[in-house]
A and B are shown apart, each in its own frame.
Chain A
Amino acid sequence: MFRALVWKEWRQLGLVRWGGIALGAVLPLAFLAGAQLASHGLLPTGTVKEYSSRDLMYELLPAGFALGLWPLIGLLVASQAFGGDRAAGTENFLLERPVPRAAVWRARLTASIASLLLVLVATAAVGVMFALLSGPPPQIGWTRWLILSGLGLGLALLAWIGAMLAATLLPSPLGAVLLGGVVGGVPALLAGQMTAAFPNARYGDLHLGMALPWILVPAYVAASFFAASRGEPAGRGRVRRGAGIAVGALAAVIVIFIAAAPIAVQAHARSGTHGLTASVGGGSAFIGGGRFASAGGWIADLKSGKKLRFLAPWVGDVSWKDDGSIVAVVASGGPLGSERERARLEFYASDGTPARPEVQPPDSGFIFGLAWSGDDLVGLAFDMEGHQDRLGVVVLRGGARDWTRTGFERSGGDLRLMERLDDGRVALLNFDLGDRAASGYVSYRGSKIFLVNPKLGKVEGPIFELSSNEITSETGLSPSGRFVVVSERAKEGATPNDLDRPRFVRDVATRQSAPGLAPSARAQWLSGDRLAWTETRSEATSLIVASMDGSQNVVRTWSHADVGIVASPDRRAIFVSVLPQRPKTGAAPAAEGTSAVRDTPMASREGAFEEFVYLVDEDRIVSLGPPFSDRLSDQKYTLWAGPKTLARIAPGVVALEDLNAPGKRRFVLGSESDLR
């Protein structure tokens, strides 16, 4: 019986099949003729440059198949297969006989998909033949053909499925062609629209908006099946049944999306490794999803480890007031992973509750690079005026809703806010960049350091200028603003400069961090204008803390070690992690002070490093027990969550650990088992 049904459906589709193949054979000739006419200005398009027949056959023809002919054949084949009998009045022939309607539906499915694939293969073969006749493939080979063929196959299948449903519901094949095009396009359109409207509704690389609408495809097939093969044979309720399933699936997509999007957004924020923004005052910290918080993040209570509030992505700059009472966040996150057109500034108290009304960026631009100074907030504002972009310094005073422009704008190059000084001013670095060369390279022509005075709403300076051969890292200015660390490009080491006595204090050989290692091994300013850095001489690496008056303290020395340091938010403690380093040649010379590790092959020493916190004022080391950080893979690392609290961070895990209870962790994200 099934064979007979397939035979009948296959025969009935003969006209569409042969018509499609004929169109595929005519299309290359039509393109060639059209190109000739266009080159002579005989088409309404006006004169078009002459395409070579090779260009046409290798570029335009596969696009014509993929975007035009194949989807059209998909629509026609399905409309004829599933609606042809009803239109011709022959539907009852099968309904009046002992033929399961499911078998009829399956036969139509089989014959129509076979017909569609035959047309696709045949027309592709014809197209390839024409392409070969026009010349050898271009440099990219058949890649364009393959990509467009894949796209065309997808579109043809979508059109076929859409028309299958439409033809099951509508009495007219022409109506089915039109509706099928719309219905078939819905999953693709929906996927595109939902992905664009809810870009952050994702888990990893899987966008919910991109994935969920494809539920409609099997739903269309099910809708067509149940509409055609269930209920009254004469068709009462068919439209209600089919449309009900399709609309139900659409509703399900929306409902699932609404239910799953918040879960996915938070799950995505939980995954990966996290960043953290701490305050000097402690209390709470902001834990960002992803290193740069773009996936959103949480305000978490340091004492309990409890997540107080989730901030939906996108989250840009985050800055705590010194006392930790308010955090300012540049965010554009909307519900369900959507994003507002413009990021606004949001304020939250340390308990996660909104602390102030939102503040929009000045003009039509956006705000970034936040730094608190007492109750004032300094930021960098970027906006476009015509074709001219503006980057300047703005201040938000106290609880004001409007930004005050300082009038300072970059003069070429780029701006970056640096540290807030003890007196409340905020250091500002203005890179002086040259024009972009043809190679794309932008030359560096030195930097100037300014000071933003929020109280006066002014930018002062420059207080220091660096030549094109000098750079200053994030170490920047000392807390008093008197000293600035400067290093020469392409040279290891850096020099703190006394701004009162320009251009020299002493040589400090700060060792640059190895690429990809965290925490930063660069020099760190501590309270009281003390500088901490690591220094390697003769393969012995020392941690040194020095005052700018010349006194220095060698805290520890290791043989063949890579030492990373991170200053606490209040700059009174240093987190130190020591990674053994393979000796360059031969045996290591005797090292001064403590030798933490001996020279053994790296492979046998993985994890054999130490971590501790050095309390600067007390000149005391707090041992942290078994090392946590994994600086080899950069997957596990430690940051400061507060002045006395460390954050242990691993993929999917953030745990808090107080200095007075090393090893005792409160998990904000993940659990102990996730660390194993």
Chain B
Amino acid sequence: MSERALVFEGVGRRFGRTVALDAVSFSVERGTVLGLIGRNGAGKTTALRLALGHLWPDGGRIRTLGLDPVTQHREVTTRVALLSEESALYSWMTIDEIVRFASALHPRSDAVLAAKLVKDLDLHAAKRIRELSRGSRAKVALVLAVAARPELLLLDDPTAGLDPLVRREVLDGILDAVSGEGGSVVYASHLVHDLERVADRVIVLDDGHIRLEDDLDALKARIRRARAVFETDAPPSPAIPGSIDLAVDGRVLTVTAEATNGSLDASLRALGAREVTIESLSLEEILVALLREGRLKEPTHV
């Protein structure tokens, strides 16, 4: 059980002429949540389906829970669940029928857990899928995925398009059920706020390449924003070590930098700042700053 939950080594996959993933390497530690960030078409879905063995790589090596998802597909799908925004559900089945049907297909399915989840998520078992709202369908998909007690849960924007309240409910349900039991989660989304709440580590994917990979806490601890107030007009282009983004507005200089609190404070005061305020950034702000600076254009391993 010591192996990592997911390992990608130089994995590539094309769809015709389109390169979905280009020699991508990363790994997911057991019991952690990896956030895969990227725009639509960045390669997130491809990465998850490769991990499940639904797609086969054109090159490289994948190990999912130590298994080859191509040759050991059945074992992988037994221990891994995929939950996507477009989770396929049979519209003509009732919730009860689809839960029982899914249970019959899965040797690890936990009927008690499924029933509990149905109840907890306020779903009506007799209702047909086609009668459910989008949010309720997402909850049903969550029930089916979690009831299989996966060791690795692959989430492909499962809450996209849902209202914030339901999104939070679903996400909490996932974390409680999977992470709480020591399972691993790969959460691919373009909703950075959601991801920031749950991810231990983040990867930014763009055009099939990894642009950024880091622990979320470390990333947030390393990149900060300082607001410095000067007696007179702030210097237009000051040299600040680790600077990522600068904005001057009269006497106020706002700088985002990869630096410690102390060094950033010292650098600004050395420039003549009278007052320095340092604050942490949200993941989205960090990504925006990095994007502005152009750091995310090339593969980046921080």
User: Which residues of chain B from 95 to 126 have any CB-CB distance to chain A below 8 Å in the complex?
Assistant: 101-102, 104-107
- In the complex, the answer to whether A98 meets B105 with C-beta atoms within 8 Å is yes
Q: Which chain A residue shows the least CB distance to B80?
A: A96
- A95 at interface by CB-CB < 8 Å: yes
- B92 at interface by CB-CB < 8 Å: yes
- In the complex, the answer to whether A234 meets B74 with C-beta atoms within 8 Å is no
Alpha-carbon distance A55/B87, docked complex (angstroms): 55
Q: Which chain A residue shows the least CB distance to B129?
A: A90
Q: Which chain A residue shows the least CB distance to B77?
A: A98
Q: Which chain A residue shows the least CB distance to B69?
A: A233
Q: Give the residue of B56, B81, B89, B104 whose beta carbon is less than 8 angstroms from that of A236.
A: B56
Contacts of A233 in B (CB 8 A): 53-55, 73
User: Chain B 61-97 against A: per-residue CB contact (8 Å), 1 yes, 0 no?
Assistant: 0000000000001110110011000111111100000
- In the complex, the answer to whether B105 meets A4 with C-beta atoms within 8 Å is yes
User: Which residues of chain B from 25 to 77 have any CB-CB distance to chain A below 8 Å in the complex?
Assistant: 49, 52-56, 73-75, 77
Task: With A92-B87, A94-B105, A97-B148 given, name 8 new contacts (CB 8 A).
Answer: A5-B105, A8-B101, A91-B88, A92-B88, A93-B87, A96-B52, A96-B54, A96-B82
Alpha-carbon distance A389/B90, docked complex (angstroms): 71
Given contacts A96-B82, A233-B53, A234-B54, contact A89 B104 (CB under 8 A): no
- In the complex, the answer to whether A98 meets B106 with C-beta atoms within 8 Å is yes
Q: Which 3 A-B pairs have the closest CB atoms?
A: A4-B104, A93-B88, A98-B78
Contacts of A95 in B (CB 8 A): 54
Rounded to whole Å, the gap between the CB of B171 and the closest CB of chain A is 20
Contacts of A100 in B (CB 8 A): 74
Contacts of A90 in B (CB 8 A): 88-90
Q: Which chain B residue shows the least CB distance to A90?
A: B88
- A11 at interface by CB-CB < 8 Å: yes
Contacts of A232 in B (CB 8 A): 54-56
Q: Give the residue of B49, B89, B92, B102 whose beta carbon is less than 8 angstroms from that of A97.
A: B102
Contacts of A4 in B (CB 8 A): 101, 104-105
- A1 at interface by CB-CB < 8 Å: yes
- A12 at interface by CB-CB < 8 Å: yes
Given contacts A232-B56, A234-B54, contact A1 B88 (CB under 8 A): no
Alpha-carbon distance A185/B9, docked complex (angstroms): 49
Given contacts A92-B88, A233-B54, A236-B56, contact A1 B77 (CB under 8 A): no
- A99 at interface by CB-CB < 8 Å: yes
- In the complex, the answer to whether B107 meets A98 with C-beta atoms within 8 Å is yes
Q: Which of A3, A96, A100, A232 gathers most chain B CB within 10 Å?
A: A96
Rounded to whole Å, the gap between the CB of B231 and the closest CB of chain A is 63
User: Which residues of chain A from 534 to 586 have any CB-CB distance to chain B below 8 Å in the complex?
Assistant: none
- Give residues in A with beta carbon < 8 Å to B: 1, 3-5, 7-8, 11-12, 88-100, 232-234, 236
Rounded to whole Å, the gap between the CB of B74 and the closest CB of chain A is 5
- In the complex, the answer to whether A93 meets B90 with C-beta atoms within 8 Å is yes
- In the complex, the answer to whether A96 meets B104 with C-beta atoms within 8 Å is no
- In the complex, the answer to whether A99 meets B105 with C-beta atoms within 8 Å is yes
Alpha-carbon distance A93/B93, docked complex (angstroms): 13
Alpha-carbon distance A545/B89, docked complex (angstroms): 99
Q: Which chain A residue shows the least CB distance to B49?
A: A234
Q: Which chain B residue shows the least CB distance to A14?
A: B92
Alpha-carbon distance A249/B226, docked complex (angstroms): 73
Alpha-carbon distance A95/B87, docked complex (angstroms): 12
Alpha-carbon distance A3/B54, docked complex (angstroms): 24
Given contacts A97-B77, A233-B73, contact A11 B92 (CB under 8 A): yes
- Give residues in B with beta carbon < 8 Å to A: 49, 52-56, 73-75, 77-78, 81-82, 86-92, 101-102, 104-107, 148
Q: Which of B56, B88, B107 gathers most chain A CB within 10 Å?
A: B88
Alpha-carbon distance A387/B91, docked complex (angstroms): 69
Rounded to whole Å, the gap between the CB of A485 and the closest CB of chain B is 87
Contacts of A11 in B (CB 8 A): 92
Alpha-carbon distance A92/B52, docked complex (angstroms): 12
Q: Give the residue of A1, A89, A92 whose beta carbon is less than 8 angstroms from that of B54.
A: A92
Q: Which chain A residue shows the least CB distance to B100?
A: A4
- In the complex, the answer to whether A97 meets B86 with C-beta atoms within 8 Å is no
Alpha-carbon distance A97/B52, docked complex (angstroms): 10
Given contacts A232-B55, A233-B53, A236-B56, contact A97 B88 (CB under 8 A): no
Alpha-carbon distance A11/B86, docked complex (angstroms): 23
Contacts of A3 in B (CB 8 A): 104
- In the complex, the answer to whether A96 meets B77 with C-beta atoms within 8 Å is yes
Q: Which chain A residue shows the least CB distance to B75?
A: A98
29 A–B pairs (Cβ distance < 8 Å), ordered by A: A1-B105, A4-B101, A7-B101, A8-B90, A11-B92, A12-B90, A88-B90, A89-B88, A90-B88, A90-B89, A90-B90, A92-B54, A95-B54, A96-B77, A96-B81, A96-B82, A96-B88, A97-B77, A97-B105, A97-B106, A97-B148, A98-B74, A98-B78, A98-B107, A99-B77, A232-B54, A233-B54, A233-B55, A234-B55
Q: Which chain A residue shows the least CB distance to B46?
A: A234
Q: Which of A88, A95, A98, A100 gathers most chain B CB within 10 Å?
A: A98
Contacts of B88 in A (CB 8 A): 89-93, 96
Rounded to whole Å, the gap between the CB of A94 and the closest CB of chain B is 7
Q: Which chain A residue shows the least CB distance to B55?
A: A234
Q: Which chain A residue shows the least CB distance to B84?
A: A92
Contacts of A99 in B (CB 8 A): 77, 105
- In the complex, the answer to whether B89 meets A93 with C-beta atoms within 8 Å is yes
Q: Which chain B residue shows the least CB distance to A2?
A: B104
Contacts of A236 in B (CB 8 A): 55-56
Alpha-carbon distance A97/B81, docked complex (angstroms): 8
Q: Which chain B residue shows the least CB distance to A8?
A: B101
Q: Which chain A residue shows the least CB distance to B78?
A: A98
Contacts of B102 in A (CB 8 A): 93, 97
Alpha-carbon distance A89/B81, docked complex (angstroms): 18
Rounded to whole Å, the gap between the CB of B282 and the closest CB of chain A is 33
Rounded to whole Å, the gap between the CB of B77 and the closest CB of chain A is 4
Contacts of A91 in B (CB 8 A): 88
Contacts of B87 in A (CB 8 A): 92-93
Rounded to whole Å, the gap between the CB of B173 and the closest CB of chain A is 19
Alpha-carbon distance A97/B74, docked complex (angstroms): 8
Rounded to whole Å, the gap between the CB of B280 and the closest CB of chain A is 38
Alpha-carbon distance A68/B2, docked complex (angstroms): 63
Rounded to whole Å, the gap between the CB of A229 and the closest CB of chain B is 12
Contacts of A234 in B (CB 8 A): 49, 54-55
Alpha-carbon distance A20/B148, docked complex (angstroms): 38
Contacts of A5 in B (CB 8 A): 105
Rounded to whole Å, the gap between the CB of A97 and the closest CB of chain B is 5
Rounded to whole Å, the gap between the CB of A90 and the closest CB of chain B is 4
Q: Which chain B residue shows the least CB distance to A233?
A: B54
Alpha-carbon distance A93/B88, docked complex (angstroms): 5
Rounded to whole Å, the gap between the CB of B64 and the closest CB of chain A is 13
Contacts of A7 in B (CB 8 A): 101
Alpha-carbon distance A138/B21, docked complex (angstroms): 72
Rounded to whole Å, the gap between the CB of B21 and the closest CB of chain A is 14
Contacts of B53 in A (CB 8 A): 233
Alpha-carbon distance A89/B91, docked complex (angstroms): 11
Rounded to whole Å, the gap between the CB of B132 and the closest CB of chain A is 15
Alpha-carbon distance A3/B105, docked complex (angstroms): 10
Contacts of A97 in B (CB 8 A): 77, 102, 105-106, 148
Alpha-carbon distance A236/B50, docked complex (angstroms): 13
Q: Which chain B residue shows the least CB distance to A101?
A: B73
Alpha-carbon distance A608/B219, docked complex (angstroms): 112
Alpha-carbon distance A97/B87, docked complex (angstroms): 12
Q: Which chain B residue shows the least CB distance to A94?
A: B105
Rounded to whole Å, the gap between the CB of B13 and the closest CB of chain A is 10
Rounded to whole Å, the gap between the CB of A101 and the closest CB of chain B is 9
